[in-house]
Amino acid sequence: MRHLLSAADLDRDAALLVLDTAERMDRALAGREVKKLPTLRGRTVVNLFFEDSTRTRTSFELAAKRLSADVVNFSAKGSSVSKGESLKDTALTLEAMGADAVVVRHPSSGAPHRLAGWVRGSVVNAGDGTHEHPTQALLDAFTMRRRLGRLDGVRVTIVGDVLHSRVARSNVLLLATLGAEVTLVAPPTLLPVGVDTWPAAVSYELDGALAKADVVMMLRVQRERMTASYFPSAREYSRRYGLDRARMAALPEHAIVMHPGPMNRGMEIAAEVADDPRRSTIVEQVTNGVSVRMAVLYLLLGGIDPREAM
């Protein structure tokens, strides 16, 4: 594996290797005073973020640092990008400085794919527009497997703004690869064209999908990407598609509630659901994100340097 651009890059074996490696990483560091491994000493990871992010950037930074890689954080604000530098020139500049991996987040779908054609190091997609966010899907799968003990046949209901959600797209691809059954629930206006070709069932109604769900994944309503009005009012959206206490009570005993964050409390998820200690995995997802990203960086960078092999 050279890059991680899409969840579809991973076949079943590769996806399970990432999850198993993440499990080992997690256990290798659990309970240790020194949370650091020497594995990627001397490697440089550049976090190239053209969009705001707290958890993903911090998570990648921590993951790289725990593997002893050097980390350079680059955000578009306050950089040459605000002077009009193109993505390609930015990439070539970083390349010239010797970046072994570029972790990129970009508002345009496909930007990491373009980047992968320009640089010789590894490219990791940390979210591109409304397209994909593969490491989020991996950490979600990791969290599900930990909580439920398996992924094969697990019924996952993904609820909300599927249209704008790279998290949903990557999760559908990865979960299908791993044998889970995905149901997408959203108002028709928030489903993308061609969703019928995805490996997932589609429903417009949340209540009917709750009783048999092992996992409910709530998506953030992404107002910043909404160029038109997709639903009449926040209140109506919340009543029809929000996860409140009553709906949570309709879930099977063992079911878990996930959210990729950041949350709009009171909109897609009620505060008491988000904070439910038994069902909510929202904090765990953040913790697991570091282990999963360590696994991805190790598998991409730990081995033979592709530039030396060329």
Residues that bind another protein (CB under 8 A): 17, 20-21, 24-25, 27-28, 31-32, 34, 36-39, 67, 298-299, 302-305, 308
Q: Which of 3, 57, 106, 133 is catalytic?
A: 133
Shortest distance in whole angstroms from residue 24 CB to another protein: 4
Start-to-end C-alpha separation, the chain:
15
Confirm whether 105 is a catalytic residue.
yes
> Is 56 noted as a catalytic residue in this protein?
yes
Secondary structure (3-state) at 198: coil
Element (H, E) at 176: helix 166-177
Which of residues 186 and 300 has its CB atom nearest to another protein in the complex? 300
The CB-of-279 to another protein minimum distance in angstroms stands at: 30
Smallest gap from residue 309 Cβ to another protein (A): 10
Q: Indicate the residue among 16 and 201 with the shorter CB distance to another protein.
A: 16
CB of 70 to another protein, least distance (A): 16
Residue of 105, 106, 145, 169 with catalytic role: 105
Half-sphere exposure of 111 (CA within 13 A, CB side): 24
Minimum CB distance to another protein smaller for 39 or for 75:
39
Beta bridge partners of 132: 128
Among this protein's residues, is 133 annotated catalytic? yes
Residue 34 or 228 with smaller CB distance to another protein: 34
Provide, for the chain, the percentages of residues in helix, strand and coil under a 3-state DSSP scheme, each rounded to the nearest 5: 45, 15, 40
Active-site residue, selected from the candidate residues 32, 83, 197, 227 = 83
Helix spans in 150-275 (H): 166-177, 207-210, 234-241, 245-249, 271-274
Task: For the CB of residue 15, give the shortest distance to another protein in the complex, in Å.
Answer: 14
CA atoms within 13 A on the CB side of 162: 29
- Active site residue: 21, 44, 56, 281, which one? 56
**Closer CB to another protein, 41 or 212, in the complex:** 41
Q: Which is nearer to another protein, 67 or 180 (CB)?
A: 67
Which among 182, 264, 174 has a CA at the least distance from the CA of 217?
A: 182
CB burial readout 69-84, b (16+ within 10 A) else e: bbbeebbbeeeebeee
How far is CA 189 from its chain centroid?
23
Place of tokens 């005073």: 33
309 vs 235: CA distance, rounded Å: 57
Question: Greatest CA separation found in the chain?
Answer: 58
* CA dihedral sign, ordered 250, 223, 54, 92: positive
Closest distance between another protein and the C-beta of residue 67, in Å?
8
Active site residue 83: yes
> What are the catalytic residues?
55-56, 83, 105, 133
